[in-house]
A = this chain, B = another copy of it.
C-alpha cells in the first residue's frame, strides 16, 4: 500500500504560476496532438467513454501526479481525475497512482503527454529520494542546482523538493554567488561583498565560493551570508565548520555522488548540493491501462 509523506511539505509555490503552467501544457499537447488523433477520431464514436488507471511498474517516489491530471483536465474538461497516490508517495510496483474517466477521444489524445511528463518527474523525485535518504540525520540539507532540462526549471526543482531536497536559488537573479573571477575582478572578497551589499535587494543572500580555508576566514569577516566550499574533502570541510562556528552558513559542492554524499554531509556543513538528480534520472516506468475496478 502507498504511504504518503506529502503533508509535511506544501511545495506548490515552487511550481510555475497556474496561467504559465497551463500555457506550457497547451504547448505540450499541441506538439503531440496537432489538430487531433485522426486514428481515434475516425474510428471511435464521438460519444465513447473510457475508464483508465495510471499504474507503476516498479517502486517509485511519485511526482507529477497533479500535473498529469492537469494535462488530462486541460484537454478534456469534462473528465474525472482522482489521485490515489499524491506527490511524495513511496509507491510499490503495481500500485494504482490515479484513475481517469471520461470521453475516450480526448483521454487517448492526452495520454502520451501525461505519461511522458509523469515518467520524467517521478524519475527525478525517485533518484532525489535516494540522495536525501543518505543525508538523513547528518544535520545537512540536500540542495539542488541549476542543471535542469530547459523548460523544466520549476518542475524539476519541485520534483527535488518532493524527493526530499531543498532548493538553492531558482534562477540567476534571486541570489548572489561570488566566484573566483568575480572576486579577482573586484580586488578581493571584502570589496566584492561590499559591492554586492549595496546593489542587491535587501532580502537576497550573498554567497561566496571558497577553495581554501584562508578564503573562508576572509568571506566570514566580509559578512557573507553563505560560504560555498568547492570540491573540498570532508576533513577540510570539518575545519571550515570549526572556523565559522555558526556565524554564517556553509554549503558543500562539487563531485558529490551516492558514494560520497554521506561523509560530506556529516562534516558539519548546512547544505550538500547535487546536480545529477535533475539531469540524468532514468524515466520511471508508469503505464495507463484500462481500469478494471471501475
Which of A15, A166, A195, A201 has the most chain B CB within a 10 Å cutoff? Answer: A201
Q: Is the CB of A116 within 8 A of B32?
A: no
Pick from B44, B117, B154, B169: contact of A182, CB below 8 A.
B44
Q: Is the CB of A37 within 8 A of B168?
A: no
Q: Is A260 an interface residue (CB 8 A)?
A: no
A192 CB contacts on chain B under 8 angstroms: 43
Check if B30 sits within 8 Å of A177, measured CB to CB. Answer: no
Provide the bound-state CA to CA distance between A113 and B147, in Å.
Answer: 8
Query: A14 near B: Cβ within 8 Å?
Result: yes
Point out the residue from B151, B154, B170 that lies within 8 Å of A151, measured CB to CB.
B151
Complex alpha-carbon distance, A183 and B42, angstroms: 11
- Interface class of chain A by DSSP: mixed
Can you sample 9 A-B contacts with CB below 8 Å? Answer: A12-B41, A13-B37, A39-B182, A42-B200, A117-B150, A123-B280, A143-B202, A175-B201, A202-B226
Q: Do A174 and B150 touch across chains, with their CB atoms under 8 A apart?
A: no
C-alpha spacing A37/B178, complex, angstroms: 11
Least CB distance from A142 to B in Å reads: 11
A226 CA / B45 CA spacing, docked (Å): 24
Q: Which of B39, B174, B201 contacts A34 (CB 8 A)?
A: B174
Q: Which of B41, B123, B173 contacts A33 (CB 8 A)?
A: B173
Q: How far does the alpha carbon of A218 sit from the alpha carbon of B41 in the complex, in Å?
A: 23
Apart from A35-B170, A116-B147: 8 A-B pairs, beta carbons within 8 A: A10-B46, A13-B36, A32-B146, A33-B173, A35-B154, A112-B172, A166-B199, A204-B205
Q: Which residues of B contact A95 (CB under 8 A)?
A: none
Contact assessment for A35 and B15 in the assembled complex, using a CB-CB cutoff below 8 Å? yes
Query: Contacts A43-B182, A203-B169, A203-B204: A153 and B13 contacting too (C-beta < 8 A)?
Result: no
Q: Which of B9, B172, B249 contacts A37 (CB 8 A)?
A: B172
Q: What is the chain B residue whose CB lies nearest that of A282?
A: B280
